[in-house]
Structure 1
Amino acid sequence: MDDFMQPTRAFLDWFRAWPGTTFHNDIEIVDLRARGAGRGIVAKRDIPVDTVLFTIPRKAIISATTSELATLIPAIVQGADCKDEDKVEDEEDEDEDLSSSRQDPWTLLILIMIYEYLRGDQSPWKPYFDILPAVFDTPMFWTDDELQELQASPVVGRVGRAEADEMIRTKVLPVVRAHSDVFFDKTGVTPLDDDALLQLAHRMGSTIMAYSFSLDKDDEEEGDGNDAKTEQKDVEMKDGDDAEKEHEHGPNCDHDHDDESDDDSTGWVEDKDDQLPLGMVPMADMLNADAEFNAHIAHGVDVLTATAVRHIRAGDEILNYYGPLSNGELLRRYGYATEKHAFFDAVDVPWSLLQNSLAKQLHLLPAEAAKAATAADVDEFEDPFMLDREFDEDEATGQLKAPENGISSTLLSELPLTLVRQARAFVKVALRQQQKRREKALANAPKNKQTGKNGKNSKTQTPPKTEKELVAAGLANALKERLDEYPTSLAADSALLESGSVVAGSRLHSALRVRLGEKGLLTEAIKLAKLMELDAKDEAKAAAKADKDALKTKKTERRGDDDSQPSGKRQKR
């Protein structure tokens, strides 16, 4: 245990030595590996709300303004900050071979982290690097067999290892190679080959994904800082010595996107387009995080401040917040899943799956289905649709609340309105197009005894499904097809998780949590679609009965009218 905590004590001493830092006497960094959480900060005594837990001066942050790499290779910073196209062109003319030197904030921080890491004891942040992780549990580092445990989760398609490799090879490695004197000669490190550099860049990129904070100063953050929690994300990952650690961090990182429907984003490459400067913030990394939290970090002009958002009892862990991320997204970004983040679970349903299901109901050919989809009048055509669990949260106190209807066991109370509207628009257009095709066929067809002069079939047929029935049946079948993409059942996964045979915090354990949440949502969505289908059938039956009763009444009235005529007028003469 001493081997684990000794670097921690050295880090705390180093942190306190920085001018401008504070660390409250009633909190401490502890070993939480017994609960699968690595290092963390706990309260030694009760802590009132609004207590400042610790402060971090901006000078202690690893960033382009504090690392000497920015002065050694000015082009990488100028490229990251430059908005002047003429200036960019001038830089290209000066050295076309180093056009890759111009970095976005993401790759810029990767380069800075590589440089400071290679400096070893020469770096002012050496004690900080000593407690940063060397092993990560994000799916980017999983084996193929481990990835299969995620089954049909959308997380699998968003790992992004290949995209990250390409970004490193085209943006990071050329700079390191062009400035070997800075990265190797100056640091006294033997030059690394491309494979070793690639692995180091992946490690630094994943560290940034896990721990970095956006360093933008908003006006409201310079005030009371109460909006910082929603403006910035928590970031955290596993500590280097234990791969099972569920280390999670604070609400202060803006470099990730909150929109989970952004399916074009993969791995941590998605964050490279954010133009806010990024930095690594020592001590903020020590805070674990969960969906229910009791602290947040606000950005000030000169310092970042961690503050209690509610009363913290002695012995409680101080927790930060990543935002309302599903377990799938939490795993993809930070390498872990939690029971409470299940409140934010979500799963995608591709439009193609629903379109094909509706097309089967309507007996459409593929070309006809594509035409109907194109003609559907939908303002914002959504693809894929996201099913997400209902929840409510008190962001002021960091606490989750049961849904207002009080049914905490219910994940969904209704299907997404956009999903239903889009399906109805498709069916409406398809039915209209079918009607036009029938009318055209009837107009060109010869009259015969079967159809009669008005073209209607004289034989009794099953009434066609109504628009609502078609939509409901299509939804139910599409959702079932989506659920069937998972090779194991919800019941089997639940039994496996409850058996205790899967190690808590392991990759399989995280995969189980992810797929359980997704299957639960799909299962409830199927139930809702089937209820919708039953309602639509009942409504159709009621409408058919009403039409039949109306026709019967009309015939009765006609007979009554005939009987009321004078008998002489009804007799043949």
Structure 2
Amino acid sequence: MASETKRPKVDDDAPLQNFLRWCDKIGLVLSTKVQVSKVGMVADYGMLAQADIAEGEVLFTVPRSALLHQGTTHVSALPEREKVSLQSTSGWVPLLLALLYEYTTADSKWKPYLSLWTDFKMLDHPMFWSKEERDGLLKGTGIPEAVDKDLANIQREYRDVVVPFIVKHPDMWNTRTHTLELYTQLVAFVMAYSFQEPQAEDDDDDEKSPNPPMMVPMADMLNHVSKHNANLEFTPNTLKMVCVRPIKKGEEVFNTYGQMANWQLLHMYGFTKLYTDNVDDTADIPVVNLHKAATKEPDGDQQLLEEMWELLRDKGAFVFGKHGCLTDMELHSVLKMLCMSREEFLAFKDNNDGWEEDEDEDEDEEAISQAFSNDGLPGLKSKWKRLIHEAARLTVRGYADVDHDRALMEDQALLERLSSRQRNALQVRYGQKSILDKIMELTKT
């Protein structure tokens, strides 16, 4: 209907108004029941309901021709023709090359869209923080290590894959304009704003690579909450943002990035939620700390524990949420092994080819899940509780000053004086430590 294409009221924001005019030209249909704005949003741009919206109503429709990905840009032919040389661990190089070109080309078809981001550093991913800030503010959270790995991979990908391609095509790209700094910013842009189309339901090829990321104008305006009220649906010709629960006039329209702990939100998107509000928050207990806890047991066979460590060193970490362990089967297996006698361990190695086959096949998964829930932890065997308790305690020791963080969280005046980075880091640290504190409380012996 004609009324559906009427542009809603917007703020006095020239880039935003240019973007909305561009949306009209490319056939992106925006409902008159929503307003795109910076005012009153939880973060930068967002979408606000201008009238009550019923479940099932379409908030906007994006034609596939308006999607920005490696197949729709002016330079799509080159990356496709040379895709073998552009293979990388991330799989993002073709899209990033397209973004490098379109973002720096004055007459790009995508200019009104990309001009919404004049500086990608406003995303404030920890990759843009100084190493000193990351290591100081985020100590113990796992984020500094993840960012160091990201930056090393980005630098290697740019040096070994992107630069050789740019040198071959100087009429389209050049390393003076298309720098490592801009490439890194665009990686953050893709991390924060891209979408991936789900695999077709009838595609039963488990080894097939996931669909490459794409930029979806307008869909990336919506902010995230776990209990979202809108969802992006993919159809053969269009993508539609559909209301999945009633939205009242004046409420913000939210999409969701999935079940995301605060450390994941900060690492990938540059923001956090209040730790008390994030029902999906998690804390990791590294397997090394569980092994260290075992070595402190008075009856521990240190030589045997060293042999066990050879099998455990690649296990990573055990993930705990607000209601218990989310990797309960793995934790159950490791605890069983750490409590084995030498004879049992040798038999385990012989029968399981060094952990390749999980020995818990006959275990009741539901019972294990209950045993490692918050309700079940107090009822575990005494030794298992001691190991978990000590591993959690060792993990907490890896964070910054616990008492200082608690004082900050309890003093609103102090909180308000923190920078956004300090507040985000605090939400991550304190949320994780709160989960670990709960684990220690439940496993006291």
* Band of TM-score, shorter chain: 0.7 to 0.9
Contact 2:234 2:240 in 1 (8 A): yes
Aligned to 1:201: 183
Equivalent-residue separation in structure 1 for 2:334 and 2:152 (angstroms): 34
Q: Offset of 1:23 from its aligned partner? A: 0.5
Aligned to 2:116: 131
Partner SS state of residue 259, structure 2: coil
Equivalent-residue separation in structure 2 for 1:117 and 1:375 (angstroms): 48
Contact 1:369 1:430 in 2 (8 A): no
Q: Deviations over 1:125-180 (max 9, x none)?
A: 11001102521311111112321111211122111212211111111122122111
Aligned to 2:32: 25
Partner SS state of residue 7, structure 1: helix
Contact 2:50 2:250 in 1 (8 A): yes
Equivalent-residue separation in structure 2 for 1:477 and 1:102 (angstroms): 40
Equivalent-residue separation in structure 1 for 2:200 and 2:210 (angstroms): 15
Equivalent-residue separation in structure 1 for 2:340 and 2:89 (angstroms): 50
Q: TM-score, normalised by structure 2?
A: 0.79
Q: Offset of 1:505 from its aligned partner? A: 7.7
Q: Deviations over 1:487-513 (max 9, x none)?
A: 321x54243134233358811111111
1:427 is matched with which residue: 339, 344, 366?
A: 339
Partner SS state of residue 35, structure 2: strand
Equivalent-residue separation in structure 2 for 1:219 and 1:468 (angstroms): 43
Aligned to 2:305: 369
1:153 is matched with which residue: 141, 145, 148?
A: 141
Partner SS state of residue 251, structure 2: coil
Q: TM-score, normalised by structure 1?
A: 0.63
Aligned to 2:98: 112
Partner SS state of residue 307, structure 2: helix
CA pair 101-425 structure 1, distance change in 2 beyond 3 A: closer
Contact 1:58 1:303 in 2 (8 A): yes
1:387 is matched with which residue: 317, 320, 329?
A: 320
Equivalent-residue separation in structure 2 for 1:329 and 1:414 (angstroms): 16
2:385 is matched with which residue: 472, 491, 499?
A: 472
Structure 2, unpaired ranges of 5+: 1-9, 347-379
1:344 is matched with which residue: 267, 280, 284?
A: 280
Aligned to 2:214: 279
Q: How many residue pairs end up in the alignment?
A: 391
Bigger mean CA deviation after superposition, 500-509 or 134-143: 500-509
Partner SS state of residue 62, structure 2: strand
What RMSD, in angstroms, separates the aligned Cα atoms of the two structures? 3.1
Contact 1:357 1:478 in 2 (8 A): yes
Equivalent-residue separation in structure 1 for 2:89 and 2:384 (angstroms): 49
Contact 1:173 1:197 in 2 (8 A): no
Contact 2:88 2:157 in 1 (8 A): no
2:157 is matched with which residue: 156, 162, 167?
A: 167
Equivalent-residue separation in structure 1 for 2:434 and 2:327 (angstroms): 14
Q: How does 1:526-541 map to 2 (within 5 A)?
A: 526-530=440-444, 533=445
**One-letter code aligned to 2:13:** M
Aligned to 1:59: 65
Contact 1:502 1:509 in 2 (8 A): yes
Aligned to 1:357: 293
Partner SS state of residue 181, structure 1: coil
**One-letter code aligned to 1:171:** V
Aligned to 1:499: 411
Aligned to 2:254: 319
Equivalent-residue separation in structure 2 for 1:178 and 1:55 (angstroms): 38
Aligned to 1:449: none
Q: Offset of 1:59 from its aligned partner? A: 0.3
Q: How does 1:215-294 map to 2 (within 5 A)?
A: 215=197, 218=200, 275-294=210-229
Contact 1:372 1:430 in 2 (8 A): no
> Percent identity of the aligned residues?
26
Larger radius of gyration: 1
CA pair 426-219 structure 1, distance change in 2 beyond 3 A: closer
Equivalent-residue separation in structure 1 for 2:257 and 2:179 (angstroms): 30
Structure 1, unpaired ranges of 5+: 81-87, 89-98, 184-190, 222-272, 391-411, 435-466, 534-573
Partner SS state of residue 166, structure 1: helix
Q: Deviations over 1:267-310 (max 9, x none)?
A: xxxxxx95413221111111111122100101110100001001
Partner SS state of residue 428, structure 1: coil
Q: Offset of 1:38 from its aligned partner? A: 1.0
**One-letter code aligned to 1:497:** M
Contact 2:37 2:45 in 1 (8 A): yes
Equivalent-residue separation in structure 1 for 2:192 and 2:157 (angstroms): 18
CA pair 192-167 structure 1, distance change in 2 beyond 3 A: closer
Partner SS state of residue 502, structure 1: helix
Q: How does 1:70-81 map to 2 (within 5 A)?
A: 70-71=76-77, 73=78, 76-80=79-83
Aligned to 1:305: 240
Equivalent-residue separation in structure 2 for 1:56 and 1:295 (angstroms): 15
Q: Offset of 1:374 from its aligned partner? A: 6.0
Q: Offset of 1:220 from its aligned partner? A: 8.0
Aligned to 2:196: 214
